[in-house]
Structure 1
Amino acid sequence: MEIEPLAVPAGADAVAVLPRLARALAGGAPVAPYLAGSPAPVLPRHSAAGLPDDLAVVVGTSGSTGTPKLAMLGGDALRASAHATHARLGGPGQWLLTLPAGHVAGVQVLLRSLDADTEPVATDTSGGFTPAAFTAGVRRLSPGHRHYTSVVPTQLVRLLDDPAATAALASLDGVLVGGAATPPLLRRRAESAGVRVVTTYGMSETAGGCVYDGRALSGVRVRVDADGRVELGGDTLAGGYLGRPDLTFAAFAVDTDGSRWYRTDDAGRVDDDGVLHVDGRLDDVVVTGGMKVAPRVVEEAALEHVPGVSEAVVVGTADPEWGQAVSLLVVPTAGARPLSVVEVREHLRGHVPDHALPRRVTAAGAVPLRGPGKPDRAAVAALFGVG
């Protein structure tokens, strides 16, 4: 089976690939989407015997643990994902594309459009993502449909800082926010502006978001193992990694009843109401003085309790005394006064355990990102100059 690299143009021209995606879903040759202008994905050697029978799309993972892998998504999994998304949101609709369609979140906007039989609208990203381009895109949506979009938290912050873009957001019937954790303060800010926020959790291996607002979509299963690792199963699961049966074996488990599960790299818990709470990546945990600190706890507290902070990322940096030091990167709001480490610690004291109080603080104009809106924690650590 030949897999065809598919260059997806940025901006409004992205919709031109819809016919090719439709053919792949219908059983034509599968495609490997990538952003036009960037190198085509290198497809590893593979055997046709190792491919899913209904393979439609091969999409790269975010590469957070090393070299990006290529997840094999079948037509059935992609259709199940689109159907379940529309069912959760209240019905099929027209989508606004704001994300690069070389990543699973962007590809899914196009695939959901095929599922809904609607023409998506793509924002003009020739000058990068801007609130003005987003607002113009919303104005191009057709009347008579439900209207949806999918953004990452960084985009949501920018849109809420712009009154016209905020009004455009609030006019939509659903705004999926994923790719990275959505801080509770950001969600409350959006909801107070009338935005219908739906937080999503998932990855390339699950055909994108498969848990909305902590609850699994129809056909999706969630469990947490004895070590606190989140595992996902069900209808939207990938068939494995192209040309890497070893990695497939390590990441995908099969129960005695034949059901398959993807072992994520995330720690989490399911509460008594069946809601999944993701605490962050297992390998992002900072161990300082023998105590474990989940970065998300400190990040959310910084956004809530440290004045003048619009975004926050916590990493562990090498420290001769503590092993790792809790290190906080902040993006200040416009006009905010710089705060010392002592001041930041005092604002956070009582809101996080004492051992989780940052020992290093720095500021930047933006959070370094990788993939569709995920913080690049290695790049953040490098900003502290201590690894």
Structure 2
Amino acid sequence: MREDRIRSALDRCYDAVIAPNLWADALQDLARAFDAAAMMFYPYQRNLAAADPRDPNKSFTKVPISHEYQELIDEYEKNRWYLNHYRAERGLPLMVSGQSVVLEHELATDDERRTSRHYNDLYLRFGFPGYAMINVPMLDQSWCIPMLRATEQAHFNPEEARYISRFAPQFRRLINLSEKLEIEKGCAVVMGLGSLRTPAALIDWRGKVLSLNVAAEDLLGPDLALVRGVFAATDPASHQGLQAMIRNALREDRTSVGHMYPSSLVARREGRPILAEILPLSGTYLDLFDRAHLLLLFTDLNRFRAPREERLRTTFGLTASEARLAAKIGAGTELRTAADELGITYETARVQLRIVFHKTDTHRQGELIALLSRLAR
């Protein structure tokens, strides 16, 4: 009977792969089937030297999690309970060594729990003293599945651990299936953009390219290349800016677009630069297991004429001198070079550019160029 309940709940998890809004209900059912109160998917690093045992690229609130776990995990992340956490510090080496299921009593003695701040002020406070975690090692990103038991339930025991370990392959299949489905969705977007002659690439949680369309492949050459699966610009400053943009986007919550550096320029030896822009995957294309993470869009500025000064003046209320500078920047000219060409000092150009940023509601040259390139189409 218990196994039937577990398999029925697992079927609901497979439904959630297709419809991610079902994950909370499905995992709550699965937790009850295992005679637990709550469960979630939790990424871990296999690097035992990491000071912070959690994956810094992922918010815990963006992974599959059951309803009963949510309030505790919000507190866990908000007040940094993951730091110096005995369950992570002692459980991680056991999982890295290959142990299938780790239990609370393998992580702390009864005497230690009586004085443990984590145990008393977090888990007992929320009414979840019992704990077990299922190890799900993967090729790229390893996962564990913590399960909590409530105060009125007994702790997990070794016999239950052996029984639970039988279901680890099911969790691995769930993660693999979710990754494949979401990658296919992301690839479809990339290919669709290619049909519109928009160069695009799908980026994973490590910053590596999962897929790119033909339009993006056409931009590869002496100025922009793929090196071991990562975009690399030949110009050092462009490469630094491109990598910083991607790293920052990977660190941020994908729904917090306002905190990202959304654009970067790749300088060319000849011609106008390539504009790179980040588009975070969300909604329908959000991969809860985080393999497909970002869309990287490129604009070949050589394909578009430079913005006209008169249009910039009327559209954004720029003065003649501000419009002349904005047109230079929009064409991909460096600020110092633009100042020389306009016969003004670099400091004057900087002041004018700040005013242009304010009037166009942009904050960086890449953002301004992205805006003006669309205006020029």
Report the TM range for the smaller structure's normalisation.
under 0.3
Compare the two structures and name the one with the higher helix fraction.
2
Whichever of the two has the greater Rg, that structure is 2
Compute the TM-score of the two structures, normalised by the length of structure 1: 0.26
Compute the TM-score of the two structures, normalised by the length of structure 2: 0.26
Compare the two structures and name the one with the higher strand fraction.
1
